[in-house]
Chains A and B, each alone.
Chain A
Amino acid sequence: MTVGETTSERGRTVRGLLNSMEGIRGHPLLVVGGLMLAVCMLAVLFPGALAPHDPLRSDIGNRLAPPFWYPDGSMEYPLGTDGLGRDLLSRMIYSARISFTIGVAGAAVSAVVGVAVGLVAGYFGGFLDTVLMRLTDIQLAFPSTLLAIALLTVVTPSVISIGLVLAVTLWVWHARTIRGMVLSIRESPFVLGARALGASNGRIMRKYITPFVLGQVLVFGIIQVAIIIQLETGLSYLGLGIRPPVPSWGNMLAENREYLTTVPWVAIFPGLAVIFAVLGLSLFSEGMREILGRRL
């Protein structure tokens, strides 16, 4: 191909990108959520650069130091220290990496399993559909927190196992919605057309149906990251998730709750961190839904 053609191709891509940037302007949810997530991502990617201290090092002489705006607070420990004299801000920053790793990994596994089940059930229908959907019914009959607690008493908690356990409790939501979408797409004329051209079932699912559900999967997947972060916090709070001394927002809340009446900030800050992360994810996913919803 000629040089002129590749540049025009590139020009087209750049223009497309600019157009989609233009589209973001009208979506404050996406922008606000995105900025909040960007803050979280900084903490996830570069905790060492952001955190002023080692999250595990304790400075017993300075235990329960107040945040810097208190008269006896200092910038050395910007948000104060916990009962063992560990820097609260550093612990919160390092927790973000763990929570988001579990959240993203869990949501990804949940999406892969859920989409596969939903596609197969919706596309083939019949007996297979009945079996798979009754399985999801059974799964839904268990409250997800309870199921996660039950599984985690058997499995040794680690970042991977907690992510997997939470994925197990959440894939059904994907499976259900995707199945519903596939049921309607399966009947569209271009799917019949593809079959008339001799396309195999796998090819039709891959090329003709999956592109339609990806937007939905993305929006729902981001929400699931938020749900998993909340569940992980809950589990860690109960002592079933991330074990001390490794910091996580959940076990920080648990460790520090006894000081709530005397030095409340030690428990409030980890709680705010969870709220910040979950809110950022929710707003971002809502913004995505607005953009994609307009298109689909």
Chain B
Amino acid sequence: MTTSLLEIQDLTICFPGPNGLVPAVDGVSLTLEAGTVLGIVGESGSGKTMTALAVMRLLPRAAKVTSGSICFKGRDLLQLSMREMRKIRGAEISMVWQEPMSSFNPFFRLGGQVAEALSAHRIVKGREALRRVIELFRSVKIPGAEDRCRDYPFQFSGGMLQRAMIAMALSCNPDIVIADEPTTALDVTVQRQILDLVQDLKEEYDTAVILISHSMGVISDIADEVLMMYSGMVLEKNATEEILTSPAHPYTKALLQSVPKMTTTEKRLPAIPGAPPNIFSRPSGCPFHPRCPNAGAACSEERPIPRELEEGHLVACHNAYT
């Protein structure tokens, strides 16, 4: 077996609740190959952001990783010291955040901030770093790169700031960029541009991308593989085309049905009844069974384990195997 670039095994992240530890991420496993795009789709609270933060070792203080491993280039990130981890952050794995407007330090010019990773990792500094930043600004298509590096964050629009953040994430040529809902705070036309940019740059810099989103539309365009998360668990994983055309898990099916289509004539979109479970009162068995149209007796008792239905297609559903 060849080792993947990133391999998460059975990751469980717990938060303290009123009655002891509660898992927010429950036994998640995933693999990411070099140069590919993995989309993680899930509703709010499904654990997708926590999974990403765990890779960076930037979980909130209250969170505890209770089991699992995160192997990156053969090293378990969870075992590294903070000093070693700091060398990886920004240089080998970097992040693009959800809110570009508040993710920059308002006191410093953007050029200097984008160069921050370069100087923090002592790659280049000073004038050389600034030249590098101008190059990066050009490659993320910020017009007038030389002048705009001297601007402060408030002088940029949201879309431009997101471009600057992508430039920052790419500055040290990382192996993995984790983009946590990079388009959520932007309007639709800008979303489109940012996604195109991510796709282009992924080719140019040969970077693997983990794209986190709650929107199937965003994911379907650029991801090679899609991971469906629900209530801290992985429900289904498959190549993007496969998951769009032949979803196996009822949750994936229901989600795809509720995406509006240009061709539909119905007045109302189909919706999934109910709401995602609160992690403090998760249903027994399969977390999706109270909302599932074909839930059987086994579903409320036993938790389905993700199993390989065919090559590269994982499903966690009791009904999928029969």
Contacts and interface: CB of A to CB of B under 8 A. Distances in A.
Do A and B interact?
Answer: yes
A61 interface: no
Interface in B151-203: 165, 168
Interface stretch (B2-10, B101-109, B298-306, B312-320): B101-109
A199 B116 contact: yes
B39 interface: no
A188 B107 contact: no
Nearest to B93: A196
A68 B91 CA distance: 76
Contacts of B102: 188-190
A197 B168 contact: yes
A65 B56 CA distance: 78
A197 B97 contact: no
A192 B105 contact: no
A198 interface: yes
B95 interface: yes
Interface residues of B, number: 26
A208 interface: yes
B45 to A, nearest CB: 19
Interface residues of A, number: 18
A152 to B, nearest CB: 41
A195 B94 contact: no
Given A189-B97, A203-B120, A197 B90 contact: yes
A192 B58 contact: yes
A89 B79 CA distance: 72
Contacts, number: 59
A196 B120 contact: no
A11 to B, nearest CB: 14
B89 A198 contact: yes
Contact of B87 (A125, A188, A198, A208): A198
Nearest to B116: A197
B105 A208 contact: yes
Nearest to A125: B61
A189 B153 CA distance: 14
Contact of B104 (A190, A199, A211): A190
A198 B121 contact: yes
Interface core residue of B103, B105, B107, B168 (most chain A CB under 10 Å): B105
B206 interface: no
Given A190-B105, A194-B116, A208-B105, A200 B99 contact: no
A212 B107 CA distance: 8
Given A189-B97, A199-B120, A203-B120, A194 B86 contact: no
B89 A197 contact: yes
B88 interface: yes
A27 interface: no
B105 A197 contact: no
Interface string A175-209: 00000000000001110111111111001000110
A197 B120 contact: yes
Given A198-B88, A198-B120, A207 B94 contact: no
Given A192-B58, A203-B120, A207-B108, A197 B94 contact: yes
Contacts of A190: 102-106
The 3 A-B residue pairs whose C-beta atoms are closest, nearest first, are A198-B90, A197-B90, A198-B89
12 contacts: A189-B97, A190-B102, A190-B103, A192-B97, A192-B103, A196-B97, A197-B117, A197-B120, A198-B90, A199-B90, A200-B86, A211-B107
Given A189-B102, A190-B102, A199-B116, 19 more contacts: A190-B103, A190-B104, A190-B105, A192-B58, A192-B103, A193-B103, A193-B104, A193-B165, A195-B58, A196-B56, A196-B58, A196-B89, A197-B117, A197-B120, A197-B168, A198-B88, A198-B120, A199-B90, A203-B120
Interface of B: 56, 58, 61, 86-91, 94-95, 97, 99, 102-108, 116-117, 120-121, 165, 168
